[in-house]
C-alpha cells in the first residue's frame, strides 16, 4: 500500500465561473463541474458551497442524480422535475448511460488498452477511501485505452461500466498506474506531479427523459 499525503484541510472551491451551464431545457440541466467543488454539501458548515446549491440558485427545482468526486471536473446532469429525476436515476441504475473520462496516470502501461474487473468496498476505518475486496466488495468494472504516451505519464481514456465511489482512481492504482495529483491513492511522485487531480468527465450519454432520444453532452478536458 502506498503512503499518501493527507487530503487538503481547507475547502476553497473556485468561484469563477460560479456556475457553468452546458445545456438546459424543461427536464434536464447539464453542468460543467470544476475541480475542487463538491457535488453536494458536506456536513461541516464550511462545506456548504457545492454544485447542487449553486445550480438551485438559478434553477430552484434542480436535483442531484449522480456525483463526481470533489477533485474531478467535468460533465454532470441534474434533473429539473420529479419525473425526469426518476427516469435518469433509473438509467444510471440499469447502466443505460455511458460515461467517458480522460485521465493522466503515472508511468507507462505495457498494453494499449485493457479491462479491469475488481470488486470494491469502502475502507471504513479510512473512509472515504475505497479498497479492492474479493470477498465483500461489489462488482466494479472499467475499460481503458491509451490516448498518448508522455515522458513519465500516460494520457488515457476511461470507460466505467459500473459506478462505484472512487472506482477509476482505485482501478488505475490497482494496475500500478495511479492518477496524477490524487491525494488519496497516488504515490508521492504521482501526487506531486500535478497541482490537481488529473481526472475529467469528458462526456455523458443518456436517453432524454421526455422522448427517450439518445443524447451526448461533452465538456472538453482542461488539461
Catalytic residue numbers, as ranges: 69
Distances 69 to 75, 183, 197 between C-alpha atoms, Å: 12, 12, 10
DSSP letters for 9-53: SS-----SSS--EEEE-SSEEEEEEPTT--SS--SSGGG---HHH
Vertex 104: Cα angle to 48 and 181 (nearest 5): 45
Q: Report the alpha-carbon distance of residue 186 to residue 54 in Å, rounded.
A: 30
Whether omega before 86 lies within 30 degrees of 0, making that bond cis, reads no
Amino acid at each position: 500500500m502506498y503512503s499518501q499525503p493527507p487530503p487538503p484541510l481547507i475547502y476553497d472551491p473556485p468561484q469563477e465561473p460560479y456556475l457553468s451551464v452546458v445545456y438546459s431545457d424543461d427536464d434536464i440541466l447539464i453542468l460543467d463541474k470544476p475541480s475542487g467543488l463538491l457535488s453536494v454539501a458536506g456536513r461541516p458548515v464550511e462545506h456548504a458551497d457545492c454544485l447542487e446549491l449553486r445550480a438551485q440558485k438559478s434553477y430552484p427545482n434542480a436535483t442531484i442524480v449522480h456525483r463526481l468526486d470533489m477533485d474531478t471536473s467535468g460533465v454532470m446532469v441534474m434533473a429539473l422535475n420529479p419525473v425526469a429525476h426518476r427516469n435518469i436515476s433509473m438509467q444510471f441504475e440499469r447502466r443505460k448511460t455511458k460515461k467517458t473520462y480522460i485521465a493522466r496516470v503515472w508511468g507507462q502501461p505495457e498494453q494499449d488498452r485493457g479491462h479491469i474487473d475488481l470488486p470494491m468496498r469502502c475502507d471504513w476505518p479510512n473512509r472515504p477511501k475505497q479498497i479492492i475486496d474479493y470477498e465483500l466488495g461489489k462488482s466494479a468494472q472499467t475499460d481503458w485505452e491509451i490516448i498518448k504516451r508522455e515522458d513519465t505519464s500516460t494520457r488515457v481514456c476511461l470507460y466505467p461500466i459500473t459506478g462505484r465511489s472512487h472506482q477509476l482512481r482505485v482501478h488505475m492504482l490497482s494496475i500500478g498506474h495511479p492518477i496524477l495529483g490524487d491525494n488519496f491513492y497516488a504515490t508521492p511522485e504521482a501526487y506531486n506531479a500535478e497541482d490537481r487531480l488529473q481526472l475529467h468527465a469528458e462526456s455523458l450519454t443518456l436517453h432524454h427523459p421526455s422522448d427517450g432520444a439518445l443524447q451526448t453532452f461533452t465538456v472538453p478536458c482542461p488539461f
